[in-house]
Chains A and B, each alone.
Chain A
Amino acid sequence: MTSRAGDAQRSTASLRHRLAERGIDPTLLLLVPGLVVAVALFVYPFSYGIGLTVQPTAAMQEQWGGGAFANYVAFFRDPFVFDSIGITMRLALPAALFNVLASIPVAMVLRHRFRGKRLLTSLLVLPITLGTVLTAQGLLIFAGRQGWLNRALLQAGLIDEPLQLVNNYLGVMFSLVITGFPFAFLLISSYLSGIDPSLEQAARTLGAGWWQRFRRIVLPLLAPGLATTFVLTFVLAFSVFPSARLVGDAMGSTRVMSLMAFRAFGEQNDYAMASTIALMMGAVELVVVVAVLGLRSLLYRGTTGGKG
């Protein structure tokens, strides 16, 4: 019984309405600046970089052959470069594992309220604000052969000779732990707080001791958060750059991928090779991330019972 005008009105309203129902309305314009930044500063350069990797310099082609793929050939064939994958993994994986695993007991203990908690938490968070470069300088002085750490150990008679704690693998490890642990701790604390405490109370009333509570209730619920934390911490550690140069052995045992990439970029001005290394770096890291996330969705599905 609606009039013809009413019909026409209904059909045009319904096109705009149909679009709006699917979520397409002028509000989406708010996304535009973000998309512009993402595309112009991320997508475009990234694809440009991928394109670069198959445009090797003449020198590269001569040295390694393989035509357009000379950079990739170089990457896989040059042990100086290729080994950097293993070196970086040997640093990043243990560091990330340690940071995540060490955070769990600390986060568990610090769950409760106690005097000085605010102070302690700020102290733990401090390294994040200081950054890797400052930590590097500090480590060189504090843990160097003449530094306070070695002096104290010598004085206490625990060692006979000063330990070589910097300018090697250990130095970079220390740096990774100092800057990475607070980050992992913060994340795991927040995941832990998302677990409904009444779940553990319930387990308690059913007779579970603390280890059982941890293993059967907390750990499974924490697992997805652990995986995420591991991934993020791993990404941080894998990207290590200044520490490897400053407290590590840049051309030797801590020859990480980012250093290799930068060497190609800044010192050799071979942008194509630099992009190749950078890309491979991303690829390796992606493999690890996908593996971990895949593992996590296999092992646990469900909610944490809280506002997780």
Chain B
Amino acid sequence: MSTFESLELRGVGRRFGGVDALAGLDLTIRAGEFVALLGPSGCGKSTALNCLAGLLPLTHGEILLDGRRIDTLPPERRGFGMVFQSYALFPHLSVEKNVAFGLQMQGVQRAEIDRRVRAAIELVKLGEHARKLPGQLSGGQQQRVAIARAVVLEPSLVLMDEPLSNLDAKLRLDMRTEIRRLHQSLGLTTIYVTHDQEEALSLADRLVVMREGRVQQVGTPDELYESPTSWYVADFMGYRNILPATVVSASGSEAVVELPGTGDDGGARLTGRAVGGLRAGDRVRVAVRPEDFAVAGSGPGPDGAAGEIGGTVAVVEYHGREHAVSVQAGDVMLHARSAAPPAVGGAVRLTAPVERVLVFPESLDAPVPQEVAA
């Protein structure tokens, strides 16, 4: 298996039609790592992947493999494997021939090709479909052929461009496990593009969250999950409640904020953990996970040092072990979880512990540390 010591992206950018599809990407990838590029469509993640592949040229920066520049090489000379969102299988070739294609391009001996192709097809569990044409396979099977075709070459890097987004939900889950299993057994360095945070969290060793062509945060799933550095990243990490607010007072790592349009007399107040330096009067956004909100009936409750928000229950959804509760608090809709379903239309109060309420500056343009120090 060909491998490398380091793959470095330095200041990689691509400007097209006057717009920065990608800018200022600095990333060092370690051998064997599984890195996920996460973000909504248009954030630059696919652009970054295609630049790495060589299918799009860079306008700025360079890509270095073990210190050698590879961004000037055409894709067929980079030795990377790629799995496309549309699978892009060769429609006129059988599964076997699809997988064998890359090896034939490399001029590998016939017997060796047969051996490796068979092994790759067995690896993705398509042994009995080896002679079929792509048109005769289901979506999930086609995806597995695409993966086999990429990994059979034992490339130094595997690029995956939203490979699961065309599959239905259950299949997606199964394939996700497959990809994880493959990575664990083959150990190929992988760069994976997705807009699904669950996928990214479950598959990756490190995540890169992107927005409008720029990196917002890089870190392990744990780091991003527990300590997002902006409300944008928090939004991706499942902090479903992102509420605009104003700082009332800030001291040390805590801040008291007021949420306009909620509660009586102007706005409910919450105390939360400040991320970045905040001062009184700053415009901020408050991020809280649904599972961190406690739903309580109306009436005086525990001392509201951390603050509370009152509202009316709007929607209750059954989720098996617990219920998803949507609460209308003035102008905003809040999302919470509760074991016992409250009555729709009833008045409730939502509270959350201080450490679980994150307060972020409103502006996303402030420079943000890219790698959270270990």
Contact = CB atoms under 8 A, between A and B. Distances in A.
Interface residues of A, number: 10
A21 B57 CA distance: 9
Interface in A250-266: none
Contact of B59 (A6, A9, A14): A14
B181 interface: no
B72 A13 contact: yes
A2 B62 contact: yes
A2 B57 contact: no
A17 interface: yes
Interface string B13-54: 000110000000000000000000000000000000000000
B108 to A, nearest CB: 30
A13 B11 contact: no
A295 B171 CA distance: 50
A6 B62 contact: yes
Contacts of B57: 13, 17, 20
A1 B61 CA distance: 10
A21 B16 contact: yes
Contacts of B10: 2
B199 to A, nearest CB: 31
Contacts of B62: 2, 6
A82 B255 CA distance: 91
A2 B11 CA distance: 9
B131 interface: no
Interface string B53-84: 00001111110000000001000000000000
A131 to B, nearest CB: 35
A14 B60 CA distance: 9
A79 to B, nearest CB: 59
A2 B71 CA distance: 14
Contacts of B11: 1-2
A22 to B, nearest CB: 10
A1 B58 CA distance: 17
A17 B72 CA distance: 11
Interface in A7-57: 9-10, 13-14, 17, 20-21
B91 to A, nearest CB: 18
B74 to A, nearest CB: 12
A274 B124 CA distance: 71
A20 B57 CA distance: 10
Interface in A58-92: none
A13 B60 CA distance: 10
Contacts of B72: 9, 13
A6 B10 CA distance: 12
B60 A10 contact: yes
Nearest to A9: B72
A9 B58 CA distance: 12
Interface string A189-233: 000000000000000000000000000000000000000000000
A142 B59 CA distance: 72
B35 to A, nearest CB: 23
Nearest to A21: B16
Nearest to B71: A13
A14 B61 CA distance: 12
Contacts of B16: 21
B200 to A, nearest CB: 30
Contacts of B61: 2
Contacts of A9: 72
Interface string A174-191: 000000000000000000
A21 B16 CA distance: 7
A19 to B, nearest CB: 11
Nearest to A1: B11
Contacts of A1: 11
Contacts of B17: 21
B61 to A, nearest CB: 8
Nearest to A17: B57
A9 B60 CA distance: 10
Nearest to A14: B59
Contacts of A6: 62
A52 B11 CA distance: 63
Contacts of A13: 57-58, 72
- Counting chain B CB atoms within 10 Å of each CB, which of A1, A6, A20 scores highest? A6
Contacts of A21: 16-17
A53 B57 CA distance: 52
A15 to B, nearest CB: 11
A47 B11 CA distance: 54
B55 to A, nearest CB: 12
Contacts of A17: 57, 59
Nearest to B57: A17
Contacts of A14: 59
B359 to A, nearest CB: 34
Interface string B298-337: 0000000000000000000000000000000000000000
A9 B63 CA distance: 13
18 contacts: A1-B11, A2-B10, A2-B11, A2-B61, A2-B62, A6-B62, A9-B72, A10-B59, A10-B60, A13-B57, A13-B58, A13-B72, A14-B59, A17-B57, A17-B59, A20-B57, A21-B16, A21-B17
Given A1-B11, A6-B62, 13 more contacts: A2-B10, A2-B11, A2-B61, A2-B62, A9-B72, A10-B59, A10-B60, A13-B58, A13-B72, A14-B59, A17-B57, A17-B59, A21-B17
Interface of B: 10-11, 16-17, 57-62, 72
